[in-house]
Amino acid sequence: MLFSRSTGVLITLTWSLGAAIAQQSNLPDLAPGIFSAQSSAIIDAPLQTVWDVLLDFPSYPEWNPFSRSQVVTNALWIPLEDQTPHENLRLIIQAQIPPLPTPVDENTSPNLLHAQISFENITTIDHALHRAAWRAIMLPEVLLDSERWQALSTLPDGKTFYESKEVFRGPVGYVVDILFAEGLQEGFDAQATALKNRAESL
Ligand SMILES: *[C@@H]1O[C@H](CO)[C@@H](O)[C@H](O)[C@H]1NC(C)=O
C-alpha cells in the first residue's frame, strides 16, 4: 500500500522478498507515517565488509548514486577531521533525488536540478546490532519527522542482508511525498544496488 505510487517490478520484487524473509529483518519497528521509502539487498560479502562500506562516508562519492556526500560535523555544522560517525554528531548530506545514473565515481558531476542538501543528527550507530540511523533536523519534528534507518544481518547462507527504511511523518511529509517520494524510492533502490556492487568488489 505504501508503495502504490512507486513504479516498477523491482520495487514489488524487493517488497515481496522483504516480506518472504521478514523474520530476518534487523530494522527496528517503525510506526507508519504518510509515506516511506524502503529497500533491501542480499550482498555476497561478509557483514563486517558491508558495515565498513556503509560507515565510510568519505568514500561515498566513489560509489553512491543517491547520497553523493555525507560529511560528519560538530553541533555547529563544522566538518570534523575524524569522519568516523558517532551518535549525536551532525551530518550534512548532499543527495541526488532521483539518483544519478550508475555507475558513479568521485568525478561524476552532480545534476544540479536534482541536488538536495539535508542537515541531520546521527541518532544511532550501533556496532553490536549493526544498525545506523540519522534524522533530518532542519525543521522541527512536529512539522517533519523523518529518520533514515539502515541495518545489516547475516543470512543462514552467510550472505549479508542489507535493509534501509525511512518513514516520513508530520504535515511537511505530505509535501515531501508529492515532490520526492518516487525519487527517494529510486534513491533507496539505487543505493542498495550500488552498496552491493561496492561490497562485492572489495
Ligand atoms: C541527536 O541524537 C542523539 C542520540 O539519539 C540525541 O541524544 C540528541 O539529543 C540529538 N540531538 C539533536 C540536536 O537532535
* CA 90 to ligand 1 centroid distance, Å: 9
Element (H, E) at 152: strand 145-154
* Predicted pLDDT at 24: 79
> 131 CB contacts (<8 Å, ≥6 apart)?
26, 27, 28, 124, 149, 150, 151, 152
* CA 158 to ligand 1 centroid distance, Å: 34
Residue 182 contacts residue 7 (beta carbons within 8 Å): yes
Residue nearest to atom 9 of ligand 1 (CA): 88
Residue nearest to atom 4 of ligand 1 (CA): 123
* Predicted pLDDT at 178: 92
Residues in contact with ligand 1 by the CB-under-6-Å rule are 87-88, 121, 123, 137
* Predicted pLDDT at 43: 98
Ligand 1 atom closest to residue 121's alpha carbon, by position in its atom list: 1
- 56's grid cell: 565510510
**Cα(125)–Cα(141) distance, integer angstroms:** 21
* Predicted pLDDT at 201: 97
* Predicted pLDDT at 16: 52
* Predicted pLDDT at 18: 52
Superfamily of structural domain 18-201: START domain (3.30.530.20)
**Cα(131)–Cα(125) distance, integer angstroms:** 6
* Predicted pLDDT at 6: 46
Residue nearest to atom 12 of ligand 1 (CA): 121
Residue nearest to atom 10 of ligand 1 (CA): 88
* Predicted pLDDT at 9: 44
Which of 86, 121, 122 for a ligand 1 pocket mutation test, highest count of atoms within 8 Å of Cβ?
121
Residue 117 contacts residue 77 (beta carbons within 8 Å): no
The domains of the chain are located at 18-201
Residue nearest to atom 13 of ligand 1 (CA): 121
Which of 90, 123, 125, 139 for a ligand 1 pocket mutation test, highest count of atoms within 8 Å of Cβ?
123
Per-residue pLDDT of the chain (202 residues; tens, 9 = 90+): 444 444 444 444 455 555 455 457 999 999 999 999 999 999 999 999 999 999 999 999 999 999 999 999 999 999 999 999 999 999 999 999 999 999 999 999 999 999 999 999 999 999 999 999 999 998 999 999 999 999 999 999 999 999 999 999 999 999 999 999 999 999 999 999 999 999 999 9
Model's pTM, two decimal places? 0.88
* Predicted pLDDT at 11: 47
Residue nearest to atom 5 of ligand 1 (CA): 123
